[in-house]
């Protein structure tokens, strides 16, 4: 686990409990996004098997894995509030994961060019000690441009998005591959829907906008 990312007042209001906040993910993208909330948190690897179940729809896969990741970390740190998240690219019901290699990324972008892909991004918040558990899904509709072989090759060589579901970073040069993005939670496509995350953290007792209170 990493040290807290910021130093804030940890004084709890009477009758409240100060809980550590843990991001149950080793994703550097999710870590950067959570840092935007300016609250201290730690990071732990959830060690969850991400293999899809037979016939499992992309949205259900994302929801199941987000909750499994949060529960896995919460089991080791029952006093903490734990965030788990997962993203699955959904191409006409076909789940697309992280490519992991240049060749697989080329194949994914060939599959997706000219298509509309739904990026199913789930986030779960769990506290084992209090019994709190919530999970939500943010669906981001992304329309890819018609892409030629040279564009795909140039993009992948420059950005190397092999650890990204769908083989493209919308926050970087990958935006040049797209026609449009539709979402009600702007950071969901990057990997962590912060509007939904904030809503669940408040429900779990984390005071996000307070100089004192139940902040981790």
Q: What residues are annotated to the active site?
A: 86
Backbone angles phi, psi at 174, to 5 degrees: -55, -20
Distance set, CA 68 to CA 20, 31, 151 (Å): 19, 18, 37
> Residue 123: enclosing H or E segment and its boundaries?
strand 116-127
How many residues in total does the chain contain? 216
Q: Are strands 81-91 and 42-43 parallel, antiparallel or unpaired?
A: unpaired
Tokens 């949060």, residue located? 70
């Amino acid at each position: 686990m990493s040290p807290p990312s910021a130093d804030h007042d940890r004084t709890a209001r009477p009758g409240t409990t100060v809980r550590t906040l843990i991001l149950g993910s080793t994703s550097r993208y999710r870590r950067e996004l959570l840092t935007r909330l300016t609250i201290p948190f730690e990071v732990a690897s959830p060690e969850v098997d991400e293999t899809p179940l037979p016939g499992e729809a992309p949205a259900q896969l994302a929801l199941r894995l987000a909750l499994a990741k949060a529960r896995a970390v919460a089991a080791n740190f029952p006093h903490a509030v734990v965030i788990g998240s997962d993203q699955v690219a959904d191409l006409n019901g076909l789940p697309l994961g992280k490519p992991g290699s240049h060749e697989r990324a080329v194949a994914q972008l060939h599959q997706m060019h000219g298509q509309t892909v739904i990026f199913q991004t789930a986030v779960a918040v769990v506290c084992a000690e209090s019994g709190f558990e919530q999970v939500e899904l943010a669906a981001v509709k992304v329309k890819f441009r018609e892409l030629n072989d040279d564009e795909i090759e140039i993009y992948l060589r420059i950005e190397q998005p092999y650890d990204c579901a769908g083989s493209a970073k919308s926050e970087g040069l990958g935006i040049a591959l797209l026609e449009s993005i539709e979402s009600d939670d702007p950071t969901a496509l990057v990997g962590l829907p912060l509007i939904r995350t904030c809503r669940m953290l408040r429900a779990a007792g984390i005071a996000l906008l307070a100089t004192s209170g139940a902040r981790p």
